[in-house]
Amino acid sequence: MLFFRVFFIVFFALIFESASQAAAQDNVAVSFDEVMAFMGTKPKPDVTKNGIGIYVYDGMYALDAINPYQVFKSAGLKVFMIAQKKGTITTSSKLTINVDKSIDEVDKLDILVIPGGATEAAAQTKDTVILDWIRKIDKTTIYTTSVCTGAWILGSTGLLKGKKATTHWYRAEEMLTKYGAKYQKKRWVQDGKYWTSAGVTAGADMSLAIVLKLFGKDYTQAVMLDLEYDPKPPVSYSTTTPKVKSIMEYMYDYYLLPFVKTGELGGEPVM
């Protein structure tokens, strides 16, 4: 992408003079030095020492991990996937991701991202090995974050207690209250070092908000331009009818309501 490909810089240097003359007809002319200085912008605080790790697992929602990964990559940051064990994980949509770092190999991160899922995310809240690892990593992170129901996993560590947070809309307040968090009906929320985002696509917004915090407005807009990120869906999410919402909630309840109500997995569907 624009901010990390070395070949792009070399290519740009070779063609800059002729390209800048043509571009200046419609855009503000910039010098090669200005471009290089802009691309060399450093994040504050520095999140390049230990990098950004995205914890991934079987059954997670693919975009919960891929959206932040792409945003941070486009910003030129060091970002990688981490799983409980090296190898291939399979997302809920059957997309496979090869992971070459295990939690045993990662002791420190500058930013931790925890994606969500459905029953698989619920299972992660019971995995003491993962919860202990998250607590350990959190001791040295600059930011600890979650996407969607990743907040359930983060909440299970006790780290969201007393914090403002958001998560996927499904029984959001009920779930976050269980973890001692204060639910905010927002696209993303920052409370100190903790960042949480609502369902799936909101992870992109949260990641851009982190880029804004690290680099400032101009650099963030450059990342957005690189991604051509300017969502305009064909219909409005905010005008979803009560009937459609009830249908969706019914579907989620079938699989997840036993966990929501009892905190246990594998119970009979509650209808």
Give which of 79, 71, 2 is closest to 38, Cα–Cα. 2
* Positions marked catalytic: 148
